Amino acid sequence: MVYNCTIEKDKDMFIVQFPDMPNIQTFGNTHEEALAMAKEALEGCLESDISRGMSIPSPSYAGGYPVSVASHIVLSHRLRELRGEQSQTEIAQRLGLSYQSY
């Protein structure tokens, strides 16, 4: 999964935004630092949104700079999509597994 970001120089910093994720904005002192911060901000937001059961927009913006999402986040997102409205307990029961929440 890859989201593209825009990076614009503003005085002495580089501002990063994700058109597909308007709630994410970060910056860096260099272009390279801005890209590193973009990855950190994107992954943090995705992890938070996924853990809260929020829907995640699919990447669609094709311009700018690509930022790859870590595989564990992609897997978590995909599993939540496949699970749908079913709880982990319901899935475990359907699979014949014992599931306990701690």
Q: Which domains does the chain have, with CATH numbers?
A: 2-94 (3.30.160.250)
Tens digit of pLDDT per residue, the chain (102 long)? 999 999 999 999 999 999 999 999 999 999 999 999 999 999 999 999 988 888 889 999 999 999 999 999 999 888 888 877 777 778 778 888 865 654
Q: What is the pTM of this model?
A: 0.81
Cβ-based neighbours of 63, under 8 Å, separated by 6 or more: 4, 6, 19
- Among 39, 38, 50, 40, which Cα is nearest to 8's? 38
H helices of 15-100, where?
31-51, 71-83, 88-94
